[in-house]
């Protein structure tokens, strides 16, 4: 009925047989459209084309565009949810000054690469005050 055929009438030949069923099955299997969504799109197409379509292939482009729009909408809504979630910082509190000092002291005391601008003067003071590093080690590592 969504396509303009009477419910009790027989369908035209291009809507019958295995090729037509395979075409419609492709909309659900490959494009991920539900039966309700397919009927909705078919009804919508009647607004553009008042005559019933000549088989399922006539609706392919509409179904592909709908699947693409649905996928883009899903991605967009996922991005919105993700961005809201990331702004909340996952509910974890920021690290305390002792944890930060211990983290940076481990970097200074190791032999791995240490960028010259990685540690601020305030952090140097915090590490020295806690006795986590020595002034010699800071000089040796190039921390000012």
Confidence of residue 133 (pLDDT cuts 50, 70, 90): very high
Residue owning tokens 């540690």: 119
CA distance 91 to 108: 30
DSSP tag of 131: T
User: Mind listing the pLDDT tens digit for each residue in 47-71?
Assistant: 777 777 778 888 888 889 888 888 8
pTM above 0.85, yes or no: no
Phi/psi of residue 101, nearest 5 degrees = -60, -40
User: Mind listing the pLDDT tens digit for each residue in 6-57?
Assistant: 777 777 777 788 888 888 888 888 888 888 888 888 888 877 777 777 788 8
Confidence of residue 134 (pLDDT cuts 50, 70, 90): very high
Cα-Cα-Cα-Cα dihedral sign, residues 14, 15, 18, 24? positive
CA distance 34 to 25: 10
User: Mind listing the pLDDT tens digit for each residue in 80-126?
Assistant: 665 555 555 566 778 888 889 999 999 999 888 888 788 888 999 99
CA distance 32 to 67: 7
- How high is the pLDDT of residue 91? 67
């Amino acid at each position: 009925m969504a396509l303009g055929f009477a419910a009790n009438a027989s369908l035209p030949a291009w809507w019958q047989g295995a090729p037509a069923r395979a075409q419609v099955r492709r909309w659900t299997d490959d494009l991920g459209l539900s039966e309700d969504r397919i009927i909705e799109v078919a009804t919508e197409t009647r607004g553009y084309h008042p005559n019933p379509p000549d088989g399922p292939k006539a609706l392919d482009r509409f179904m592909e565009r709908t699947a693409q729009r649905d996928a883009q909408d899903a991605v967009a809504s996922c991005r919105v949810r993700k961005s809201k979630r990331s702004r909340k910082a996952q509910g974890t509190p920021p690290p305390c000054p002792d944890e930060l000092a211990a983290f940076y002291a481990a970097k200074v005391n190791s032999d791995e690469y240490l960028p010259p601008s990685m540690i601020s003067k305030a952090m140097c003071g915090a590490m020295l005050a806690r006795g986590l590093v020595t002034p010699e080690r800071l000089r040796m590592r190039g921390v000012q």
